[in-house]
Amino acid sequence: MSELNKIALKIICNGKGILAADESNGTMTKRLEAVSVASTPENRLLFREMLFSSEAMKDCIGGVILYDETIKQTSSSGKSIPDLISSVGSVAGIKVDTGAKDLANSSEEKITEGLDGLRERLKKYYELGARFTKWRSVYIINKKFPSKLSINSNAHALARYAALVQENGMVPIVEPEVLMDGDHDAELCLIKTSEVIKKCFEELVLNKVDLSGIILKPNMILAGNKSKNKISNEEVSQKTIECLKKSVPSEVPGIAFLSGGQSDIEATENLNLINKNNNTNFIMTYSYGRALQQSALKIWSKNTKDIKATQNTFNHRAKMCTLAAQGKWSIELENK
Ligand code: 5MM
C-alpha cells in the first residue's frame, strides 16, 4: 500500500468523511452576512475553530479542507489549526486552486486557475501540515454545455494539479462539479457528468497520476433545481452509482460527494441510499460544505457566545452523515 493510498484511506474509511471549510473570503463573507455576522478574520476563525474542536471530529471527520487564511491561523489554545485538526486524528487539507475564471472563447463557462507557482505553494502547505489538497472545476449544464472546450481544459488542469500534489507527498482531491442550476433532467446530468469524469481520468492517466492515491469529489446525479422532472432519492442513488461504475477506474479508493446546494437532509438521505445500494468497491462518503455547516451557522448567528449549541448542531449533522456513509442512517435517528 502506498503512502498516498494510506492517507486517502485514513481520511475516508470507517464512515468518516470530509468537512469542506475552504470557502474563500468572498464566499465566507456571503455566508456570514446572510446570518448577519460580520465577516472579519476573527469571526471566520471563531466559527471554524468551534467546528474543528467539536466532539464529532474524532469519529466522523477524517479530513478538513482549509482555506489559505485558516491554515495560517492559530487556535485559541495556541495550537496551529493543522495541529488542532491532527490532534484528534483527522487530516488537514488545503484548497489550492485560485478560483474559476471566464473561459476564453466560451465566456459563459469557467476554467479553474492556479497552476502558476503551484509547486512552490505546495511545499509551503506541506510544511504547514497539509497532507491533502483540493481543486474544484465547475461546469454549467444544459443541452449545449458543458462544451468540449470546458471539459478538456478543466480535465487537463485537474490532472496537472493532481500530478504536482502527489509529487509533493499529498493526496489530491479531484473535484469536477457539474452544477445543479437549471431545468435539465437527471438523464442529462448522468450523460454530462459521465463525460466530464471520463475525461478527467483520461488526463489523470496521461499525467501518470497514481489513482490509488486520489479521492474523487463529484456531484450526485440529480435533476436541475428548476426541473419539473424531479426523481426520487432511490433513483438518485441508482443513477449516481451507474455513472461512477461506468466512469471511475477501480484503483480509485474512494469517492466523497459534494452537497452542491442540496438541503442537509437530502444530501444525507441520498448518501445513505448510495451506500445501501453500493455494489462497487469504492468507499462512498461525503465532503460537504453547506450540508455540514449551514445548520450550525444558523444556530451560532442567534447567539455567537453559545459554543455548546453550535457544536451540538454540528455534531448531530456530522454523525448523521457518518451513518449515511455506512448506509445506517434513518429519519428516526435524524429526528431523535
Ligand atoms: C466550501 O465551499 C467550497 C467553495 O468555496 P469557494 O467558492 O469560495 O472557492 C466548495 O469548493 C466546496 O468545497 C464544494 O463545492 C463542496 O461544498 P458543498 O457546499 O457543495 O457541499
Q: Which CATH number goes with the domain that contains 21? A: 3.20.20.70
Atom of ligand 1 at shortest range from CA of 177: 15
Q: Ligand 1 mean position to 287 CA, how many Å?
A: 9
**pLDDT class for 330, splitting at 50, 70, 90?**
very high
| E strand residue ranges, the chain | 17-20, 61-66, 91-95, 99-103, 106-113, 132-139, 171-178, 215-216, 254-257, 283-288
Ligand 1 contacts CB of residue 297 (under 6 A): no
Ligand 1 contacts CB of residue 288 (under 6 A): yes
Could you tell which of 67, 286, 290 is best to mutate to test the pocket of ligand 1, judged by most ligand atoms within 8 Å of the CB? 290
pLDDT attached to residue 208: 98
Atom of ligand 1 at shortest range from CA of 28: 8
Domain that residue 82 falls in: 3-334
User: Which residues are known to be catalytic?
Assistant: 217
Ligand 1 contacts CB of residue 259 (under 6 A): yes
Give yes or no for residue 51 having a pLDDT over 80: yes
Give yes or no for residue 188 having a pLDDT over 90: yes
The pLDDT of 113-123, averaged and rounded, is 98
* Residue carrying C-alpha cell 498516498: 4
pLDDT in tens, 3-25: 999 999 999 999 999 999 999 99
The pLDDT of 124-128, averaged and rounded, is 98
Atom of ligand 1 at shortest range from CA of 293: 19
Bridge partners, residue 80, by sequence? 74
The pLDDT of 242-247, averaged and rounded, is 98
The pLDDT of 268-287, averaged and rounded, is 98
Cβ neighbours of residue 304 under 8 Å, at least 6 residues apart? 37, 43, 46
**pLDDT class for 1, splitting at 50, 70, 90?**
confident
pLDDT in tens, 196-243: 999 999 999 999 999 999 999 999 999 999 999 999 999 999 999 999
Give yes or no for residue 130 having a pLDDT over 80: yes
**pLDDT class for 285, splitting at 50, 70, 90?**
very high
Ligand 1 contacts CB of residue 44 (under 6 A): no
Q: Ligand 1 mean position to 256 CA, how many Å?
A: 13
Atom of ligand 1 at shortest range from CA of 288: 21
The pLDDT of 175-180, averaged and rounded, is 98
Number of independent structural domains in the chain: 1
Give yes or no for residue 317 having a pLDDT over 90: yes
Q: Ligand 1 mean position to 23 CA, how many Å?
A: 6
Q: How far is CA 293 from the centre of its chain?
A: 12
Q: Which cell numbers hold the place of 233?
A: 432519492
Give yes or no for residue 161 having a pLDDT over 80: yes
- Contact predicate 95/25, CB 8 Å: no
Question: What pTM does this model have?
Answer: 0.98
Amino acid at 314: F
